[in-house]
Every structure is written in C-alpha cells, then in structure tokens.
Amino acid sequence: MTPRPEIIRALGTRDDSVDAMLPDCALPDPLPSNVQGLPSQILSADEIAITDCDPVVLVGELRSKKWSCEKVVRAFLKRAALAQKTTNCITELLWKEAIARAQHLDSLPQPAGPLHGLPISIKEQFGVPGKINNNGFVACCDLNPWNRNLSAGGSSGGEGALVGFRGSPLGLGGDIGGSIRSPAANNGVYGFKPTPFRVGNTGGMGLIVGQEGIIGCIGPLSPTLSGIELFMKAYLDTMPWVKENYLVPIPWRDIQLPKRLKIGIMWSDGIVKPHPPIVRALSEVANALKSADFEVVDWQPKEHDECWKLTSALYYEDGGHRLRQMLKASNEKLLPLTEWLLSQGEVKSRTVEEVWDLKAKRNAYRSMYNQHWLDTRRDDGHPVDAILCPVGPGCAPPHDQARYWNYTSQWNLLEYPAISFPVTQVDTRLDVPEDGYVPLNELDRFNHGLYTTPERG
C-alpha cells in the first residue's frame, strides 16, 4: 500500500521536529522492552531534575525564576523527543513556537497566569491555530515506555506514553469510553475524565462529531494528582463557559466532605473478572481506606452487561459507515481491534426511529442506575460517596488485545466523573494465575487467557 504524499509530509514534519531537539542520539539497538532508564543516560542532571519535578512545584520554580521558562521547555522538548524515538507517541514537536513563547514569558516582569511557563502536550485531535488535525488516521502504534510489547492504551495512548515517560508534565486527552483513564493506568500516571461539558473542544476534530449518544470529554493526564487539580482549577477559573456557551457555568469549588466517607468497591462487574494484579491492587486500596477510617462496603454491579450492549451500539449508530469512508479516503485498512469492535452484534446502521429508541433505553438505564446508587443509603441514610473499581480487567495488554473496556465506558454512558490513579505494578510472585478457573462467558475466557506470562501480565 503506497502512502499518500500528505502522509509522507506529515511523517517528515514530525521526524524533523524530533531530530531538531535530539540530534545524533545513540540509542541501544535493539531497544530494551522497558525504556524508562534511558533518560538518565542521555539527559543532563538538570534536565532530569526539571522533567521529574511535580507540576505544581515546577510552576512555583518558574514563577520564582529559579528556572527560566526557556530552560524548562528545552528540557521537556528533549525528553519528549526521546519519548518519540522509543515509543512513537507524538505527531509533532512544536519546538519553534514553544521556545519563542518561553522566551517571551521570560521577558515579562510578572508571571503570566497560574500555569506560567508550564509546558503542556495535547491530543492531536484538539484544535491548534495554524496546525492540521488528522484525528489519528494514518496512525501508528503507540508503545508503552514500561514495556514496549504492551499497549499504551487508547485513544489518548500517545499522551499516556508521553506523560508516563515524563516527556510532558501535563497532557490533555479525550475520553468517550476510557481514552484518558486507560492510557493513564497503562502508563502509571493519573487521568481524569470530568463530566461532559466541563472542558471545551471548540476547533477540535472527531470521527463522530455531532453524535450525542455518548458525549466525549476532555481532561488532564499528569504524573501527580496535584497536576490534575492544577489544570482543572486554572481552566475553570477562566470561566470558559463565557466563550463556549455549551459548557456548564460551574466554577471550581472547594467542597466540604462528610466526616466519614463511604466507599463502595466493585471487585468485578460480573462479566469479565479482573486479573490477579488488579484484585490485589483493589485489596491494597481497600485496606488503606479502612486504616484511614473510611467506611468500605462492597458495590454490587447492576446490569453492566446491558450497559455494554448500549455503549457498543451508541458509538456507531451508523454501523461504522463514516469510519470506513474516512479510512477509504486515506487508503488505510481497519486495524484488528477496530474490525473486531465493528463486528459486534449491536453495531449496525439504524434508522432515525431506531436511534430514538436506543437513546430512550440509555436514559432508562441512567435512571435505573441512579436509583441503584440511592438505594445504598438504606442502612444508615448515607449513600455511597464514591465507587472504587478497576480501570480495566487487566494491566496493560498486548497490542490489539484490549477487547473489553466496560470498566471505564460504564461511567461514560452514565456521565459520571472518573479518575484513574496508579497503585502498584505486577508482581509475579504474588499475582499467580488462577488454576481451574471457569470463565463466565467468551469475553471472560479471552481476557483470562491474556494473563499467562510476566511479559503479558
């Protein structure tokens, strides 16, 4: 298959921008599966200190002028270039614009806002003046910096890999089914999906723009929880709903929490059982919560199989027609995982009346689940405050094998905010495969079969 000229140009632009920041870089051949140790071999001590810094602390150093904006942005550009060479996670480094902006900020007598000088990366589909979006078509495979044999997650996998590699202190991703939270989990960082219409996307591009069956959300990824809060507060303090009037006019608020929070833990959704490392991580967090005097109860999933059916149908109400047309226009083939998704029985072209009926079922499911949540107050009048559940049924899977994401898409359909956070890593001494396991269904059988070796744990 011969690449189109614009594809060749796009790849050339990307590679030129990377080479400008990291020329003559001698990398091991072959690359190790875990490339997290490479920055310390290639970057200076100052560059490591800057790029490893907590985003909130980094902003403080920039405001105090301990580090110049230019020095900081050059350090991140260099580490981002290394991330690209090892994980294929970016589409372009905007190094000229970044350095020029940093020099301008350094010339100012006072800091320019709450994120003064902080480099930020964004998912390619978001609009940037003067830049062309391709929404991931003609896309290559993002690799996981912790294990290049495993997926970085999607569809914000580039952001996940870049932030996980510390090539960016703060990234923006999109999430319509887990596309912030899954990459965050796979790469060991934090990822927050707000409720819909909290963060704007004017000028952005999407495959299913205008589709409102499930609303996509924009949110931050960061190496630290404080980085997530830093972005959300800074963004909402600008009152973005004034310019983008479809956003809900709710400012950042510091809320008063109950004296004792009640946390519901969903150990499994009853469809696909999580792998041993996920169960252990849930247990560790549950024990930590109990030690901190949280009330911990079991959360009973309700009709999550129905949610999965609705979600699959709502993503492609046209049966995937637009997707196939766009791929045809760029002379691309369907990737195996996309082809598998489109083959699901719920994915089909629907009439207007059938779409109405589908959304009525969605709304009924939302009402049912809301009542299910409210019913948790029966014992003491206090409902569950938050649900702790897996981000997925396993850790980062091999490429093209992530066939089940209802642990995240469940909350997209319900339009609940959700955050993923790192807890631990696979320990093959503790996380032993379950012998004699009887799968619940074919999806569960497939997922259970993925947990076989340390490389695929």
Q: Would you please indicate which residues are annotated as catalytic (active-site) residues?
A: 123, 155, 179
| Contact criterion met (CB below 8 Å) for 222 and 190 | yes
State the amino acid at position 117 in one-letter form: G
Q: Residue 220 is inside which H or E element, if any?
A: strand 217-222
Paired tokens of 384: 């569950």
Nearest to 306 by CA among 406, 216, 445: 406
Rg (alpha carbons) of the chain, rounded to whole number: 22
Between the CA of residue 373 and those of 263, 299, 352, 407, what are the distances in Å? 12, 9, 32, 17
Instruction: Please enumerate in sequence order all residues whose Cβ is within 8 A of that of 435, keeping only pairs 6 or more positions apart, or say none.
Output: none
Cβ-count burial of 407 within 10 angstroms (0-12 exposed, 13-18 middle, 19+ buried)? buried
Distance CA 441, CA 224 (A): 37
The helix/strand/coil state of 109 is: coil
Residue 150's CB is within 10 A of a number of other CB atoms, namely 21
CA distance 395 to 263: 23
